[in-house]
Amino acid sequence: MVITYNGMLATELGEVCWQKSWHSNPNGECVELAALPSGEIAMRNSRFPTGPVLLYTQAEITAFLAGAKDGEFDHLLDGANHLTRQ
């Protein structure tokens, strides 16, 4: 059994199935996710596929996706450097 931790190298996770969005940039600037046997979700930057990963619980990913669907992070893409909601 692999002991997982934030910042571990993606290659240390062994054989996992990485998935990226169909909306991803064709230049390889993508975020990829993988479901781990432990139930955690690993996230990596596709530009650095062997680099470090961040680990999240399913509840954390669920909350993030709900916020993204609601547009809570849209301000990060319009060049604004301040939060308009909390």
Per-residue model confidence as pLDDT tens for the chain (86 residues):
789 999 999 999 999 999 998 888 777 779 999 999 999 999 999 999 999 999 999 999 999 999 999 999 999 987 755 555 55
- CA–CA separation, 10 vs 59, rounded Å? 22
Question: Cβ(32)–Cβ(44) under 8 Å?
Answer: yes
Amino acid at 47: R
b/e string for 57-68 if b means 16 or more Cβ within 10 A? Answer: eeeeeeeeeeee
Where are the domains positioned within the chain? 10-77
pTM: 0.82
